[in-house]
């Protein structure tokens, strides 16, 4: 870790926020959905460390529970995209020819469509919810991992150890799953850390537009949208969720840089 400060600080940030998310019911000082009409827009104080919002709800408690939503969306959405990317990219790289052409042309078509607007279009047709957000982000972001894994497998499938496996009668599925994907996973892992950061930012953007996680469930994005009408008089409602998003994304970017140094 001493030789890789990016990885150290990235892991420290993400472990901290992950711990906060996991322990939310026990460390949250107040009910994040409790409306208190007597403490509207209270600035940070000893009772409310990060202040309250326009409905008197404790901002710290809402941010603690919001960490659960934002991190879950990022991790699960990227899990879906990595699964699809590995499946399609490994098949394209291993079988080549028609399979490769079909998968890569479909990926090219998807890449030509602006991802954010594609997600907006899909979300407009389905009910905005945390599960739909996860699925839609995952289904619209598999192209990068697929191209990465395809490129790695194209260079690996002609190696001697793969030819030896073929000679021993190993099935295509065994060769792909047991040998090719593990040896090609490094760049995909780096891409995944960046993808989580991007998914968190995307969820925050959708929530800010009112198309993401719906109130009263708190997420960092929908906390920010609630701050629009009080920006001039309640700076804390904008500052603290914005900082949480910034630091979390920075943490995942640090992990990505650290992994790049390890992988070389």
| Gap between the Cα atoms of 37 and 41, Å rounded | 10
Class of CATH domain 5-26+59-263: mainly alpha
Confidence category of residue 258, pLDDT binned at 50, 70, 90: confident
Segment 110-124 mean pLDDT: 79
User: Encoding tokens for residue 89?
Assistant: 């990219």
Structural domain boundaries in the chain:
5-26+59-263
Cα 192 from chain centre: 8
Confidence category of residue 1, pLDDT binned at 50, 70, 90: low
| Gap between the Cα atoms of 192 and 93, Å rounded | 19
Instruction: Examine the pLDDT at 2 and tell me if it is beyond 70.
Output: no
Closest alpha carbon to 203 in 192, 191, 212: 212
Q: Higher-confidence residue: 182 or 88?
A: 88
Segment 91-112 mean pLDDT: 88
Instruction: Examine the pLDDT at 3 and tell me if it is beyond 80.
Output: no
User: Encoding tokens for residue 183?
Assistant: 């040896």
Confidence category of residue 229, pLDDT binned at 50, 70, 90: confident
Residue 79 has a pLDDT of 92
**Which residues neighbour 248 within 8 Å (Cβ) at sequence distance 6 or greater?**
13, 14, 17, 70, 71, 197, 200
Q: Higher-confidence residue: 143 or 121?
A: 143
Mean pLDDT of the chain: 85
pLDDT tens-digit profile of 13-49? 999 999 999 999 999 988 888 888 888 888 898 888 9
Segment 155-181 mean pLDDT: 82
User: Encoding tokens for residue 217?
Assistant: 């469930």
User: Encoding tokens for residue 230?
Assistant: 């009080």
Residue 259 has a pLDDT of 85
66-75, 125-134, 242-251 — which is least confidently predicted?
A: 125-134
| Gap between the Cα atoms of 241 and 222, Å rounded | 10
Residue for token digits 């990235």?
Answer: 10
- Per this entry, what is the length of the chain? 264
Percent of the chain with pLDDT over 90: 21
Residue 140 has a pLDDT of 86
pLDDT tens-digit profile of 53-99? 888 899 999 999 999 888 888 899 999 999 999 999 999 988 888 88
| Gap between the Cα atoms of 18 and 218, Å rounded | 16
Instruction: Examine the pLDDT at 110 and tell me if it is beyond 70.
Output: yes
Helices 130-139 & 181-208, crossing angle to 10 degrees? Answer: 130
């Amino acid at each position: 870790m001493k030789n890789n400060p990016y990885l150290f600080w990235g892991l420290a940030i993400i472990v901290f926020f992950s711990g906060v998310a996991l322990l939310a019911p026990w460390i949250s000082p107040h009910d994040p959905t409790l409306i208190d009409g007597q403490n509207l827009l209270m600035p940070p104080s000893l009772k409310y460390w990060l202040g309250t919002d326009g409905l008197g709800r404790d901002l710290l408690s809402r941010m603690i529970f919001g960490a659960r939503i934002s991190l879950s969306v990022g991790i699960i959405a990227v899990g879906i995209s990595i699964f699809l990317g590995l499946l399609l990219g490994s098949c394209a790289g291993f079988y080549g020819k028609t399979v490769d052409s079909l998968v890569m042309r479909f990926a090219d078509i998807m890449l030509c469509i602006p991802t954010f607007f594609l997600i907006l279009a899909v979300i407009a047709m389905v009910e905005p919810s945390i599960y739909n957000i996860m699925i839609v982000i995952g289904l619209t972001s598999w192209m990068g991992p697929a191209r990465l894994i395809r490129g790695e497998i194209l260079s690996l499938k002609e190696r001697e150890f793969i030819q030896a496996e073929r000679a021993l009668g190993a099935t295509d599925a065994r060769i792909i799953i047991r040998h090719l994907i593990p040896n090609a996973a490094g760049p995909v892992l780096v891409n995944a850390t960046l993808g989580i950061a991007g998914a968190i930012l995307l969820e925050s953007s959708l929530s800010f537009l009112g198309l993401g996680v719906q109130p009263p469930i708190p997420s960092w994005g929908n906390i920010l949208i609630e701050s629009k009408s009080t920006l001039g008089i309640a700076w804390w409602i904008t500052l603290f969720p914005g900082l949480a998003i910034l630091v979390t994304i920075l943490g995942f970017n640090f992990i990505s840089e650290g992994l790049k140094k390890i992988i070389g």
